[in-house]
Amino acid sequence: MAFTRREGVRALLWLSPWLVGIAIFFVYPLASTVYFSFYRYDLFTLEFIGLDNWRYAFSDPRLLQSGLNTLWLVVFMVPAQVLFALGVAQLLTKIKSGSGILRTLFYLPSLVPTVAGTVAFVYLLNPATGPVNQALSWIGITGPDWFGSAAWAKPSLTLLALWGAGNTVMIFLAALLDVPKHLYEAAAIDGAGAWRQFRNITLPVISPVLMFSAVTGVIYAVQYFTQAMIASRVASGATDSAGTSFTPGYPDGSLLTLPQHLFQTGFRDWSMGLACVYALILFAVSMVFTLVLLRQFSRAEATS
C-alpha cells in the first residue's frame, strides 16, 4: 500500500500540468458558463436577469431549427458514413491486385483541408456550371440545386462527408483484417454463405470498433461547424470580415447547426449570456453520447 501511495504522489507530479489545464480550460469555464447564463453580458455591461435567457432560448425558433438540423446529421449523415466506410473497407479486403493504390486513393480526400474540400464541393455541385450537374444532364437528368436549396443542402454535405470517409475506411479495414481467418474457414466448411459469415463472424468481432466510430461520429456531428459555415458562406457569396453581416445557415437556415448558432449569438451579436445557455444545451446533448462512450470504455478496461 505504501508503494501505491508513493506512486500516487509521483503520478500527481507528472499529471500536474494537465490537471492545471483541466482546471483552467474545462472546470472553470464550465462553471462560469452556468453563471453567465443568468446574466445579460455584451463585453461592457453585466446585468443579472434571472431566467430570461433561458426563457428566450426556448422560444427561439432558430434554436429549434438548429437542433433539428443537428439531429438530421446524427440520424442520416453518421449512419451513411459508417455504412459506406464499412462497405468500402469490406471491398478492399476482397481485392488482391492494386489494393495499395486503392487504399491511398480512398484515404487521400480525408486529408484535404476542411475548408478547401468544402469550397471545392460547392463548386463541383454548383447548379449552373458545376461538373456534376453537367454530367447528370448528359444522361438526361436535371440536377438539383444542391447547396442552393434547403432540401438538398444537407444531402450535399453528406456527399462531402462520404468523400472524406477515408479515415474510417482505414480503421474498419484494420479491424476486418484482424478477424481470425480460421473462423471463416470453419464457417465455410459448415456451409455458411458470404452473408451469414459476415453477420455471424465479421460483425460480432468488429462491433466494438463499429460502436466506437459510430459514437465518435455522433459527437463530431454534434460539433459540426466548419463545413456547414463554409458551404453557406460560399454558396450565398457572403463575406464575413469587418462589419459585414453574414447569417449562417443559408439557404433558409437549412445548414444552421447548434454550434454555429451559439457562435453567432455569442461572438457576432455579442449576446454572451444567451450564448452560454446555448452552450449548456450543447453540453447536455454531447454529454449523453459521451456517457455512452464512457460506459463502453469502462467495460473494455474491466475485461482487459
Partner 1 sequence: MRRRRGLVWIAQHAIAIALSLMFLGPVVFIVLTALMTDEQALTSRLWPDQWNWGNFAEVIARSELLTWTANTFMYASLATIFMLASSIPAAYALSRFRFRGSKVAFLVVISAMMLPPQVVAVPIYLVWARLGLTDSLWPLILPMLFGDAFSIFLLRQFLITIPRDYTDAARVDGCSDLRILFTIILPMARPAIAAVALFSFFYCWNDYYGPLLYAGVDQEGWTLSLGLATFKAFHSVQWNLTMAATLLVTAPVIVVFLFAQKVFIEGVTLTGVKG
> Interface residues for partner 1 in 221-280 (CB under 8 A)?
222-223, 225-226, 229-230, 233-234, 237-242, 259, 262-263, 266-267, 272, 275-276, 279-280
Based on the shown chain and the rule CB under 8 A, indicate whether residue 73 belongs to the binding site for partner 1: no
Which range touches partner 1 (CB under 8 A), out of 50-58, 75-83, 144-152, 160-168? 160-168
Is residue 172 at the binding interface for partner 1, with CB under 8 A as the rule? yes
Residue from 32, 51, 180, 193 binding partner 1 (CB under 8 A): 32
Is there binding between residue 26 and partner 1 (CB under 8 A)? yes
**Choice from 80, 112, 183, 192 touching partner 1 (CB under 8 A):** 112
Stated as kind and residue range, the H or E segment containing 154 is helix 153-163
243 secondary structure, DSSP code: S
Length of the chain: 304
Among 71, 120, 179, 205, binds partner 1 (CB under 8 A): 120
Residues 6+ apart with CB under 8 A from 262: 275, 278, 279, 282
Q: Which secondary-structure segment (H or E) carries 47?
A: strand 46-48
Residue 186 C-alpha cell reads as 470453419
> Exposure pattern of 54-88 as b/e (b: 16+ CB <10 Å)?
beebeebebbebbbebbebbbeebbebbbebbbeb
Between 59 and 129, whose beta carbon lies closer to partner 1?
129
Residue 99 or 149: which CB sits closer to partner 1?
99
Q: For residues 187 and 197, is the Cβ–Cβ distance under 8 A?
A: yes
| DSSP H/E element including 279 | helix 272-303
Query: Judged by CB under 8 A, does residue 18 bind partner 1?
Result: yes
Segment lying near partner 1 (by CB under 8 A), choices 58-66, 95-103, 149-157, 185-193: 95-103
